[in-house]
Structure 1
Amino acid sequence: MRSVATLVDYFGHAGEIVEPHPGRQSVIYRVPGRVPGAPALTLLPHLDVVPVNRAGWSREPFGAEIADGFVWGRGAIDMLNLTAAMAAVFKRYLTGELPPLPGDLVYAAVADEEAGGALGAGWIAANRPELVESESLLTEIATPHVIPGGGLPVTVAEKGPAWRILRTTGTPGHGSQPYATDNALVPLADAVMRLTETPTPVVISPEWEAFVTGSGLAEDLVARLTDPDRVDAAIEELRAADLGMARWAHACTHMTVAPTVFAAGGKHNVIPDGGEVRLDIRLTPGQDLDTVDDHFRKVLGPDLH
C-alpha cells in the first residue's frame, strides 16, 4: 500500500487501484495510443518483496539508502529497480517528453508476485482483464547478460513452480531420553539430505539449445552446454569463473529442488511428533507435476504419499 501511494504521488493521479484482499493493492495506468486498435504494450513490475530478517542487515532494509554507487534495500534488485525505472519512463510518456506510441501504453504495478501472484496479476487477469489487455508485455529480467559485446538476450520461456511440502509424524517424548524414540525430525532431515544430494536429470530443451547456440559464446562451450552428457561438467567449470552464470545454466538445464523452510518441534526438551519442510521446486519447459512425483519416489521411496 505504501508503494501504491508512492506511485500515485509520483504520477499525480490515482489511476485504477484494485485491492482484492486487505493490504494487497495494485495500481494500473493506461494511456491511449494515437492509432485506435493498434497493438498495446504493458509494463508489468511488481511492488512486493520477500520478508526481511533485520539481523542480517547492516543498513535499514526499507531505507533505500544510496551509498558506494548503489541503492541499498530489500527489493533493490528484485525488482523495485525496474519498477522505478519503468515508472520514470512512464512518467516521461505521461508528460509528453516521449513521442506517442501507435497503441496504448499500460503501467501495471502489481502486488503479491512473491507469493504466487493470485492476489495481484492473477486476480487482475481473472477479474479485470480489460485493465491490462495488450498484445505485448515487458516484466522483470530473467536472463543474465551472457552475449559477448553486450547484446540484449531475450527470454522465451519460463520455468514453472511446483512447490511441495513434506510432512513427517512421530511420537513425542522427553529430550533427555532420545534412545529408540520416534523423532519426526530425523526422517525429515534425511529426506532433505537425499533430495539435495541426488541430482535431477539433465534436460536440454529446444529453448535452451536455441538460446545457447545463438548466444555468441565460444563454440566449444556451446557444444558442452547443449550436450546432456557434458553439460554438468561444463557448469562445474563455469562455477570457478562465474558462479552466477553457473547457477543460471544449471537451473536452465535441470528441475531444481531447494529446501527453504524447515519446521519441527516447539520446545527445547521435547522430542517432536511432527515436522515439515517446504520445497521450492522449479520445472523446465516440457516437465509437469508427474516429473516431480517420479523423482521424489525414486529418491525417497515408493511409499511416499
Structure 2
Amino acid sequence: MAEDVVDLCAALLRFDTTNYGRGEAAGEREAAEFVAGHLETVGVPATLLEPAPRRANVLARVPGADPDLPALLVQAHLDVVPADPGEWSVPPFGGVERDGYLWGRGAVDMKDMVAMVLSVLGAWSREGRRPRRDVVLAFVADEEDQGACGAHWLVEHHPDFFAGCATAISESGGFSHHVGPHRVYPIGTAERGTSHLRLTATGRAGHGSRRNDDNAVLKLIAALGRVAALEHPVRLTPSVRAFIEQVAATLGVPVDWDDVDATVARFGAAAKLVENTVRNSTTPTVLQAGYKVNVVPGVATAEVDVRTLPGTVEELLAAVDAALGPDVRREFLNHQPPVQAPVDSPAFAAMAAALRAEDPEAVVVPYCMGGGTDAKAFSKLGIDCYGFAPLSLPEGFDYRAMPHGVDERVPVEGLHFGARVLDRFMSS
C-alpha cells in the first residue's frame, strides 16, 4: 500500500476519471475503490455510494477524542476535466514525477488534496493518533459538472451523514502566492455564485435574400451586446474587503475605497486573486442559430456565464433582464447562489496557525473565489465552507494556470508541506 503522499498522488493520477460534462464521464469507480481500500487499511471503515453506474462517492468518519465537539468535514472530488494527450509533454494520466514535480490531470484539481488527506490518516494509524474532533470524509464524483452524481446528490439523499459538521475544507485555498518578498496564503472564505443562463430569441423564419424585420439572430445579438456591456458596480463582501485591507497593509499600499480598481492594480501579483471578485460578471460563451446560410432561422440561442457575489443575485438578474428587453427570454441552466463563511472564525484562525507553524513568514488572508466548488452543495446544510488545500509553491510557479490547463503539475515538496499543514489542522 502506498503511504507517502507523492506515491499516493501518483497512484490517483493514473486513474482516468475524466468528466466530459452533460452526464458523460469515464467514471470515478476505480479511484473511489482505491481510496476506500486505503481507508480500510488504516482502520477507517468506508462506504461507497453510486447514484449512477461508475459514478462513485466515498464516505467515512474518523472518531475524535471529544465527540461533543462539532465535526470537521473534509471534502474533495475525484473527477477531472478532459486532457488532450497531444497537447501535453507527458501522458496526462501517467502520474509522472519529473524535475521536482508530479505531472498529471488532477495534480492540483484536486487529487493532490485527496493524497494529502490519505497520507495524514496513514500517519495517524501508524502513530496511534486520533483527531480532537470527529473528521467526516467525503471523496466525491461529478464536481467538474453539476454535482448531480456527487456533492449535490449526497446533500439531497444522505444529509444525515453530515450531521454535526460545522466546518468544511476543500479546494482552492491555502497555497503560497509570492508577492514581492512576501508569501501570501489566501484561504477561501467565499465564492461567487454560478448562474448559467440560456437566452432564447424567436422570430419569423424565411429566405435569407428577403427583408425580415423579425430576425431572431439580430434580436439575440443586440441583447447579447447589451448584456456584455453591463457595467457592474463594485460590491465589497467581507472576504474581499478583508483581503484588500490585509494585502494593502502587507505591501504598504494606501487603500482608496472610492477607486478599488486602482488600489487593486497596485497589488502586483496579488491583484489576480481579487480583481475578478470585486464585482459580478456576465460573459457570453455559446451561440447557436441557423442551419443554412440562405435561411433565416426562427430561433436563436446563447449561453451566458453569470457570476454573482453574496448579496447581489437579485440586483444582477434585474440588470440582465433590463438589458435583454422584451424580445429575449432567459432560463437557468444552473443556478447556485454564492456562499461565504466567517473571516474571523476559530476555524480560520486554526488554518492560519497551521500554515504559520510550517512557514513562520506566511501572510494568511481571506479571499473570495471567482469560480465555484462543491461548497455550494455542503453550505446548504449550514456548514461553513473554506477553501483550504495547502501547498507550498516555488516562486514563478503559475498555480492559477494549472487547474484545467495543459501540463498540470504539483511540486513534490509542496505536497509534503501540505500534508504537514493538514495534519496540524485536522488533528487540532
| TM > 0.5 | yes
Q: Hey, what does 1:283 align to over in structure 2?
A: 308
Matched residue type, 2:232: T
Structure 2 length normalisation: TM-score?
Answer: 0.59
- Residue-by-residue CA offset, 1:30-88 (whole Å, 9 max, x unaligned): 12123333332221111122344566545433333334433333332222222222222
Deviates more, 1:41-50 or 1:195-204: 195-204
CA 53–295 in structure 1, closer or farther in 2 if over 3 Å, else same: farther
Q: Is 2:50 the partner of 1:25?
A: no
Q: C-alpha displacement at 1:140, in angstroms? A: 1.0
2:190 is paired with a residue whose SS is coil
Q: Hey, what does 1:299 align to over in structure 2?
A: 323
Q: C-alpha displacement at 1:110, in angstroms? A: 1.0
**Unaligned ranges ≥5, structure 2:** 1-28, 330-428
Q: Distance in 1 between matches of 2:291 and 2:30?
A: 35
Which of 230, 235, 253 aligns to 1:198? It is 230
Alignment of 1:62-211 (within 5 A): 62-93=93-124, 95-97=125-127, 99-133=129-163, 134-142=165-173, 145=176, 149-150=182-183, 152-172=185-205, 177=208, 180=211, 184-211=216-243
Q: C-alpha displacement at 1:275, in angstroms? A: 3.2
Q: Is 2:290 the partner of 1:274?
A: no
Which of 254, 257, 261 aligns to 2:286? It is 261
Q: Hey, what does 1:39 align to over in structure 2?
A: 70
Matched residue type, 1:301: G
CA 142–195 in structure 1, closer or farther in 2 if over 3 Å, else same: farther
Q: Distance in 2 between matches of 1:283 and 1:100?
A: 40
Contact 2:73 2:138 in 1 (8 A): yes
Q: Distance in 1 between matches of 2:206 and 2:87?
A: 34
CA 55–128 in structure 1, closer or farther in 2 if over 3 Å, else same: same
Q: Distance in 1 between matches of 2:220 and 2:83?
A: 26
Q: Hey, what does 2:276 align to over in structure 1?
A: 251
- Residue-by-residue CA offset, 1:106-148 (whole Å, 9 max, x unaligned): 2210112222334322222232233333232211124775687
Q: Distance in 2 between matches of 1:271 and 1:53?
A: 36
Contact 1:46 1:113 in 2 (8 A): yes
CA 2–178 in structure 1, closer or farther in 2 if over 3 Å, else same: farther
Matched residue type, 1:233: A
Which of 4, 8, 17 aligns to 2:36? It is 8
Contact 1:194 1:300 in 2 (8 A): yes
Matched residue type, 2:262: A
**Unaligned ranges ≥5, structure 1:** none
Q: Distance in 2 between matches of 1:31 and 1:102?
A: 10
Q: Distance in 2 between matches of 1:75 and 1:178?
A: 51
Q: Distance in 1 between matches of 2:294 and 2:134?
A: 63
2:126 is paired with a residue whose SS is coil
Q: C-alpha displacement at 1:17, in angstroms? A: 0.9
CA 36–235 in structure 1, closer or farther in 2 if over 3 Å, else same: closer
Contact 1:145 1:152 in 2 (8 A): yes
Matched residue type, 1:200: H
Pairwise CA RMSD: 3.2
> How many residue pairs get matched?
293
Structure 1 length normalisation: TM-score?
Answer: 0.79
CA 194–142 in structure 1, closer or farther in 2 if over 3 Å, else same: farther
CA 15–265 in structure 1, closer or farther in 2 if over 3 Å, else same: farther
Report percent identity of matched pairs.
Answer: 32
1:119 is paired with a residue whose SS is coil
Q: Distance in 2 between matches of 1:150 and 1:17?
A: 39
Q: Distance in 2 between matches of 1:302 and 1:144?
A: 46
Contact 1:62 1:74 in 2 (8 A): yes
Deviates more, 1:49-58 or 1:245-254: 49-58
Q: C-alpha displacement at 1:230, in angstroms? A: 1.1
CA 280–144 in structure 1, closer or farther in 2 if over 3 Å, else same: farther
Q: C-alpha displacement at 1:157, in angstroms? A: 2.5
Matched residue type, 2:39: F
Contact 1:297 1:303 in 2 (8 A): no
